[in-house]
Amino acid sequence: MNGLTRASVRRAALVGAVALLACALMAFRSAASRYVAVGLHGDFVLKGLNERLSWVGLYYGAWIALTPLILASARWYPVRRDRWAGPLLVHGLAGFLVAGGSMVVMSAVFGVLVAGEEWANPAEWLTPRWLRLGAYHAVTDSIVYWAILAGGHGLALYESWKRSRLQSAELEQSLAAAQVEALKMKLQPHFLFNTLNSISFLALAGDTPAVGLMVERLGRLLRASTSTRGQQWVTVADELELLEQYVSIEEVRFRDRLNVTLRVAPDTRALLIPSLVLQPIVENSIKHGLSKRLDAGRLDVTVVRDHDALIVTVLDDGPGLPPGWALDTHCGRGLRNVIERLSALYGPRVDLELTNAPGGGTRVRLRLPIP
Amino acid sequence: MERVTVVIVDDEVLARKGLQALVERRTDCEVVAVCANGREAASRIAELEPGVILLDIQMPEVTGFDVLAQLPPGRQPAVIFVTAYDEHAVRAFEARALDYILKPVSPARLDAALDRALARIRDCRLAEYGRTVLEAVATLQGGAAAGAGRRPPSADWLERLMIKDGVAIHFVEVPDIDWIEGADYYVTIHAGGKSFLYRESLRHLEERLDPACFLRIHVSAIVNLGKVREIRRGFGGHYTVVLADGKKLPVSRRRKKELLDLGAARFGLKG
Amino acid sequence: MLAVFAVIGTVTVAEQFLIVANTTKAPPSAKSVKTIEAVFWGSLRYYLAWAMVTPGVFWLSRRLPLLQRRWWWAVLAHLAIPLAASVPFFAFRLLVNSVLTATPYPVDALAALWRRILTGDTVAIAPTYWALVALGTMVGFARDEAARRLRAVELRRSLSTAQVDALRMQLQPHFLFNTLNAIGSLAQAGETEAVVRVVDHLGTLLRLSMESSGRPCVPLSDETRMLDAYLAIEEVRFGDRLRVSRRIEPQAAQAFVPALILQPLVENALTHGIGRRIEAGTLEVAARRDGRWLEVSVRDDGAGLPVGWSWPTGAGRGLANVKERLAAIYGVAASCAIGPAEGRGTVARLRIPWTTQPAEAGGSAPWNA
C-alpha cells in the first residue's frame, strides 16, 4: 500500500485520538447525566400520554424558538480552522447554560400550564431541586445546542461550497475559451508567414502589381479575422467572408491555376459555427491538392444544411491521398488545430473525414451539429 | 476639363509616396502638396484650396480631425480619410467625409473614391455655375429671386449611410442607392453595381428614407425611384420595375397602387 | 432546519407513544440499577462502537450523497439503512438467546422480539445514524471545497498562461496594416530590395513570436533579436523621425527574461512617446547586469507622460500585462517602473532577478520563498 507516509500515519493517529477523546467526553456526559438524574429522586416524572405529548411539544417549541438565535451566534462567532479554541470554549459553555437555563424556564412553564403542583410550586423555584433539574438538562440537552450549532456551521459550509462550485465552473469555462482562443491564434502567424513568403517571391520576380494585390488582400483577410477575434462562434456568412479573402490571396499566388467555387445554401448563412474552421480546411486542400501540380486545379466548397447539422464539403481534383494515409497520424498542423478545437467545443468525437474522391482527388467532409 | 488638385497628408513617408504614385497614375488629378504632418497640412490647404484631400488620422500633435476643424469655411474640399484604424469611422462619417479607406490601400478602392470625389466636384461646380447664373439673372431682373439657390426644405431624411463590414468601411450616398433587398437579419444595399450587407431591418430603413424618392414595392424590396427606367405590365396585372442597370424587380399587389400613382406623376404612365 | 426538527420530533413523539405503550413492562431503569461508573463504561462502549462505525457511515454518506439531482433515492436509502440494521440485531439477539439458553427461541415470541428490536434498537440508532450522515455530508463539503480551491489556483494560473499565449501571438493589428501599406508603397515604387527586407523583418518577428509560445522565459538575446526586427520595420515607417540606439551588454544578453516582455515597452515608447511628436526622436534600449539583478531600460525623448499619469494606475493593457507576468513569474522580486526621463521623454525600467535558467511561472525559484 503506497501513501503510508509519516504524515498520513500522524494524521490518522491524530484523528483517532480526537475520536477517542470525543467518545470519552460523550460517555462522561451520559454518566453525568445519569448522576444528576438519579439525584432528582424521581422528581419531575411525566405521567400519562397527555403530559408526555405536551412536554415534547413545549420542548421542541423552545428549541425551535432558540434555533434562530443559535444559528446567528454560529454566524457571528464560528469555529474556524484557524480560530477554533475560543469559539469551542465559548459555545461549549453556552451549550450548558442555554440548555440548562432554557429547559428550567420551560419546565416552569410546563408546570404552571400543565402539570400542576407536582411539577411546579412557585414557592420552590429557587431550591436545589430546580438547580438539579437545570444541571440535568444542562448536561443532557446541551447536545441539542451543539447539534444546532453544528447545523449552522453546516449551512455556512454548504453556502461556500455552492459558491466555490460556481466559481470553479466559471473558471473552467474561461480556461477552455482561452485555450481555444490561443489555439486559434496559433493559426494566424503561420498564415501570415506563408503569404509574406509569397510576397517576397513575387517582389523578387519583379511582379509589382501582384505584390500590391496580395498586400491589399492580406490586409482584408487580417481585418476579417480580427473582427471575429475573441469570438468562438461566428456566422457562416462571416466565416465565408474570411474564406473568400483567403482564396483571393491564393488566387494571386497561383494566378490562373486555381479555380475555386463556393456554393453555400442561403438557409445556412446565419447559422453559428466555430470560427476559423473552414479556412484551414480549404488551405489544407489547396496545399495538398494543388500546389504540387503544374496545371490548373479545381476546388469545390459546398455548405448545406442536413436537419440538425451543417455539412461542409471540400472537393479537390488533385492527386488524392497517398496509400496508407490516416487522419490520426498524417494530418497536417492546420487540420490538427481544427480537430483539437472542435473536440474542445463538441466533444472527443469529431465528425471529420478525408477520403479519396470518386474520380480522383480528395474529399473532405465535416459535419457540425447545429447548437 | 482642368485637373482636380489633390493634397496628401500622412506622417509616414512610405504612405505618402504610395498615395502620390497612385494619384499620379490618373490624368484627371494633380498632386499639388504632400504634407508630413497636420500643422503643415493646415497651412498648405488654406493656401492652395485643393479639391480633394487624402488625409491620415493618427498623426502626431495635429490629427486628421484637427486638420478638418481648421479648414476654412466656404469652399470645402472632398475629404478622403486613409488610415489603418477602423475606430474613427463613425466620427469621419459625421464629419461628412466622402470616404474612409483602410490601409493597406487598394488601388481600386482609391480610384473609386477619387471618381466619386470628382463627380461631386463636378456637380458642385455645375450647381454653383447654375446658382451664379441665377443670381446674375436675378440681379438683372432686380431683386433676388425668392428661393433661388436656397435648398428645398428637407425633413430629416437619410442622406448617407455608413456601412461597416468586417473588412472595409463604406460611405454610401443615399441618392446612389439603386435598390435595397431585405432578408432575415440584414438588408443588402445595391448601389452602383456593388452590394453591401447592412444590419438593419427593411422596415426601419423604409421609415428613414424620403418617400418621394424611395418606395417599397415588395415585402423584401425598396427601390429608388430615381433609378427606375420603366414599369412594365405583365399578365394578370403583375407589374415589374426595371432599373437603369437592367435589374428587374417584381411589384407586389398591395403596393401596386402606390407605385402607379407615383409612376403617373413621374413618368406620365397611363392606367 | 425545520425538516430536521420535524423528523426528530416525529421520532421522539413516536418514542413517547411507545414508552407509554410499554409501561406495562417494567421500566428499563428499574430492571438494572446501574452505578454511575457502569453507566460511564457502558456509554463509552456504546460511543466507541459508534466511533468505529462512523467512517463507514461517512463513506455511505458520500456514496449516497444527499446533494445530487436524484436526492430522493439517497433519502430513501438513508431511511432504510437503520431499518435494515435491525436484521443483524435480530439475528444477534436470536443467536445469543439460543446459545445462552441452549434452546431454540420460541417461534411465537419471534414476532415480539422483532417488534421490540424495531421499536427499541432501530429507533435508538436511527437519529444517531442520521446525525452522522449529516456530519459526513458536511465533512464532504469541506473536503470538496478544499480540493476546489486548490484546483482554482491551478486554473487561474493556466488561464493567465493561455491568455498570455493568445495575447502574445497578436502583433498589434495597426502595426501590421501600416507595415503592409508600406510594403505596398515600396513595391509600387519599384524598390524590390526594400520590399524583401521589410518582408523579411516581418517574417522574423512572426517566427520568433511563434517559437517562444509555450515557453514563459527566453534569453534576452532572443528578445533583442525580435526587437531588432520590429524596430527595423518601424525605422522604415518613421523614416528620419526615428533614431534607434541599442546598448546591450554581452553578459546581459545571456540572462533569461519573460518572453515578449520588452515588446510592449518599446511599442509604447514609439506610439506615445516619439510617435506623438512631429520632430525626430531617439529610442534607446539598454540592458546590463547589476550583481544579482538584470536591469533593462527603454528610454525615449518624445512627448513624455501625460499630466497626472501615474504608474501603475495609468497603465494600458500592454503594460498591465507586463506587470502581471512579472508578478506571476517572479512574485515581488521583480519590478517595472515607468517615469519621466531626465530632460525630455519617458523611461521604462525593468529590474528582474538575474538568472541563466528559464523559470517556471510561480515555480519554486529561490526568489519565490
Q: Given CB atoms, is C275 within the 8 Å cutoff of chain B?
A: yes
- Res. A86: pLDDT tops 80: yes
Establish, for the pair of chains B and C, how many residue pairs have beta carbons separated by less than 8 Å: 66
Match 478602392 to its residue by C-alpha cell: B109
| Mean pLDDT confidence for B243-250 | 88
- Res. B23: pLDDT tops 90: yes
Sign of CA dihedral A29, A30, A31, A33: positive
Lowest mean pLDDT among A91-95, A207-211, A225-229: A225-229
pLDDT tens readout for residues A337-357: 888 888 877 877 778 888 888
Q: Which residues from chain A sit within 8 angstroms of residue B102, using beta carbons?
A: 219, 223
Asked if A179 and A129 count as a contact pair (C-beta separation under 8 A), the reply is: no
Asked if B98 and B78 count as a contact pair (C-beta separation under 8 A), the reply is: yes
pLDDT tens readout for residues A40-67: 665 666 666 677 777 777 777 788 888 8
Give the residue from B12, B14, B81 with the most C CB atoms within 10 Å of its CB, the best one to mutate: B14
- In percent, the amount of chain A with pLDDT more than 70 equals 87
Cβ separation A216–B104 shorter than 8 A: yes
Q: Which residues from chain C sit within 8 angstroms of residue B23, using beta carbons?
A: none
Write the CATH number for B136.
2.40.50.1020
Nearest-Cα distance to chain B for C186, in Å, is: 7
- Res. B119: pLDDT tops 50: yes
CA separation, residue C208 to residues B265, B271, C272 (Å): 69, 74, 25
Domain that holds residue B95: 4-124
Q: What is the pTM of this model?
A: 0.66
Q: Which residues from chain A sit within 8 angstroms of residue B185, using beta carbons?
A: 270
Neighbours of chain A (3+ CB pairs under 8 A): B, C
Cβ separation A179–C162 shorter than 8 A: yes
Report the pLDDT value the prediction gives residue B265, as an integer from 0 to 100: 66
Report the pLDDT value the prediction gives residue B213, as an integer from 0 to 100: 86
Write the CATH number for B97.
3.40.50.2300
Among the three residues B78, B97, B124, which one is the final residue of a domain in this structure? Answer: B124
- Res. B52: pLDDT tops 90: yes
Nearest Cβ partner for C180 among A147, A171, A219: A219
Cβ separation C185–B103 shorter than 8 A: no
CA distance B96 to B79: 8
**Beta strand pairing call for B214-218 and A351-356:** unpaired
Strand order of the β-sheet with B177-182 is B194-198, B187-191, B177-182, B221-224, B214-218
Asked if B194 and B113 count as a contact pair (C-beta separation under 8 A), the reply is: no
B105 and B212 in a single domain? The answer is no
- Res. B258: pLDDT tops 70: yes
Nearest Cβ partner for B15 among C182, C240, C303: C182
Report the pLDDT value the prediction gives residue C101, as an integer from 0 to 100: 66
B67 and B195 in a single domain? The answer is no
Report the pLDDT value the prediction gives residue B138, as an integer from 0 to 100: 66
B132 and B201 in a single domain? The answer is yes
Q: Which residue has the higher pLDDT, C1 or B249?
A: B249
CA separation, residue C178 to residues A94, B70, B245, C217, C276 (Å): 75, 26, 38, 29, 16
Report the pLDDT value the prediction gives residue A261, as an integer from 0 to 100: 92
Q: Is C262 helix (H, G, I), strand (E, B) or coil?
A: coil
- Res. B35: pLDDT tops 80: yes
pLDDT tens readout for residues A260-310: 999 998 888 888 888 888 888 898 888 887 777 777 888 999 999 988 889
Cβ separation A212–B168 shorter than 8 A: no
B111 and B132 in a single domain? The answer is no
Report the pLDDT value the prediction gives residue A120, as an integer from 0 to 100: 57
User: What is the greatest pairwise CA distance in chain C?
Assistant: 118
Q: What residues pair up with A313 in beta bridges, in sequence order?
A: A302, A365
Q: Which residues from chain C sit within 8 angstroms of residue A175, using beta carbons?
A: 155, 158-159, 162
The confidence band for B57, taking pLDDT boundaries of 50, 70 and 90, is very high
Give the residue from A214, A216, A222, A244 with the most B CB atoms within 10 Å of its CB, the best one to mutate: A216
B133 and B266 in a single domain? The answer is yes
CA distance A131 to A105: 11
- Res. B151: pLDDT tops 50: no
Any alpha helices (H) in chain B, and if so which ranges? 13-24, 38-48, 64-69, 89-94, 107-141, 202-208, 253-267
B199 and B93 in a single domain? The answer is no
Report the pLDDT value the prediction gives residue B26, as an integer from 0 to 100: 93
| Mean pLDDT, rounded, of chain B | 84
Q: Which residues from chain A sit within 8 angstroms of residue B166, using beta carbons?
A: 223-224, 227-228, 238, 241-242
B79 and B19 in a single domain? The answer is yes
- Res. A21: pLDDT tops 60: yes
Q: Residue C264, preceding bond cis, omega within 30 degrees?
A: no
Domain count, chain B: 2
Q: Closest-CA residue in chain B for C302?
A: B60
Report the pLDDT value the prediction gives residue C77, as an integer from 0 to 100: 81
Lowest mean pLDDT among A222-231, B3-12, C133-142: A222-231
Cβ separation C47–A150 shorter than 8 A: no
Among the three residues B86, B109, B124, which one is the final residue of a domain in this structure? Answer: B124
Cell of B173: 450616398
Q: Which residues from chain B sit within 8 angstroms of residue C184, using beta carbons?
A: 18, 104-105
- Res. A9: pLDDT tops 90: no
Q: Closest-CA residue in chain A for C10?
A: A56
Q: Given CB atoms, is A228 within the 8 Å cutoff of chain B?
A: yes
- Res. A246: pLDDT tops 80: yes
Match 413618368 to its residue by C-alpha cell: B267
Nearest-Cα distance to chain C for B118, in Å, is: 24
Report the pLDDT value the prediction gives residue C69, as an integer from 0 to 100: 72
- Res. B102: pLDDT tops 90: yes
Cβ separation A56–C50 shorter than 8 A: no
Q: Which residues from chain B sit within 8 angstroms of residue A220, using beta carbons?
A: 167-168
B161 and B132 in a single domain? The answer is yes
B12 and B39 in a single domain? The answer is yes
- Res. B105: pLDDT tops 70: yes
B262 and B205 in a single domain? The answer is yes
Q: Which residues from chain C sit within 8 angstroms of residue B21, using beta carbons?
A: 185, 188-189
Report the pLDDT value the prediction gives residue A134, as an integer from 0 to 100: 75
Chain C, 185-214: which have a CB under 8 Å from a chain A CB?
187-188, 190, 192, 195-196, 199-200, 202-203, 206-207, 209-210, 213
Cβ separation B105–C181 shorter than 8 A: yes
* Total residue length of chain B: 271
Cβ separation C36–A218 shorter than 8 A: no
Report the pLDDT value the prediction gives residue C179, as an integer from 0 to 100: 92
Among the three residues B124, B146, B181, which one is the final residue of a domain in this structure? Answer: B124
- Sites in chain C below the pLDDT cut of 50: 1, 22-33, 361-365, 368-369
Q: Given CB atoms, is C242 within the 8 Å cutoff of chain B?
A: no
CA distance A62 to A113: 15
Cβ separation B105–C275 shorter than 8 A: no
| Mean pLDDT confidence for B18-29 | 93
Q: Given CB atoms, is A332 within the 8 Å cutoff of chain B?
A: no
B104 and B227 in a single domain? The answer is no
| Mean pLDDT confidence for A360-364 | 88
B135 and B72 in a single domain? The answer is no
